[in-house]
Amino acid sequence: MKFFVDTADIDAIRELAELGMVDGVTTNPSLILKSGRDILETTKEICDLVEGPVSAEVVAIEFDQMLKEGKHLATIAPNVCVKVPLTWAGLRVCKILSQEGTKVNVTLCFSANQAILAAKAGASFISPFIGRLDDINVDGMDLIRDIREIYDNYDFETEILAASIRSANHMKDAALIGADVATAPPKVIHDMIKHPLTQSGLDQFVKDASEAKIKIV
């Protein structure tokens, strides 16, 4: 499973990239707002830092303006992936940009039917939102499972990008189901390493190494 980082925080991306944990990045208007920076400038900086796809989201909801924005975002760098909402306007833009060779990430997916439409429109990525479904007491992982089965039935090439990930358990479950990609906030990726037995085991080894006066170099 590929790891995308769901943030516009350059330092956080750099830190994870140095660990080899970044196959791509996703941003959205809320993350741009949180960063307090300009979308074009930030996207360019991220694209220079990361080799994989960097999703930058359009803000228009009407077709003509959305297409214009998508085309403009695509000029920032070759690895920009234009993110469009799961609306008919978004799917029209997806079809056009995909045919022109630009990667498109269709976002705000909450049903398997929506995911089928995105695949038919040529999306490179579909972003089903796990956490936001969990928030309304619908199991987000069931959606990832359904989309996986449907895409496999028809050999759709659209990659399942599990989004709105809130915990390390979400990462494990998405990987078990076979999501192609998971996009997670930096904290969640950092949390994946945590296990109390690793920490207590290490504490004991450190203590015993000191008692045994072990010196390696």
Binding site for ligand E4P (CB under 6 A): 6, 26, 28, 107, 127, 129, 131-132, 163-164, 183
How near is the Cβ of 28 to ligand E4P at its closest, in Å? 4
How near is the Cβ of 48 to ligand E4P at its closest, in Å? 20
How near is the Cβ of 199 to ligand E4P at its closest, in Å? 27
Residue closer to ligand E4P (CB basis): 165 or 211: 165
- Cβ atoms of residues 103 and 124 within 8 Å: yes
Tokens coding 72: 């403009």
* 103 is a catalytic site residue: no
Task: Output the CA angle 127-166-121, nearest 5 degrees.
Answer: 0
φ, ψ (nearest 5 deg) of residue 145: -60, -45
User: How many angstroms separate the CA atoms of 27 and 68, rounded?
Assistant: 19
Q: Which of 175, 79, 41 is nearest to 160 (CA)?
A: 175
Q: Can you give the length of the chain in residues?
A: 217
33 by Cβ neighbours in 10 Å (0-12 / 13-18 / 19+) ranks as: exposed
How near is the Cβ of 99 to ligand E4P at its closest, in Å? 23
Sign of torsion over alpha carbons 83, 38, 36, 68: negative
How near is the Cβ of 206 to ligand E4P at its closest, in Å? 37
Q: Which residues contact 52 (CB under 8 A, 6 or more apart)?
A: 2, 4, 22, 23, 24, 25, 79
Q: Which of 142, 149, 206, 138 is nearest to 174 (CA)?
A: 142
From the candidates 34, 83, 95, 215, give the one annotated as an active-site residue.
83
Whose CB is nearest to ligand E4P?
164
Residue closer to ligand E4P (CB basis): 98 or 107: 107
Q: Which are the catalytic amino acids?
A: 83
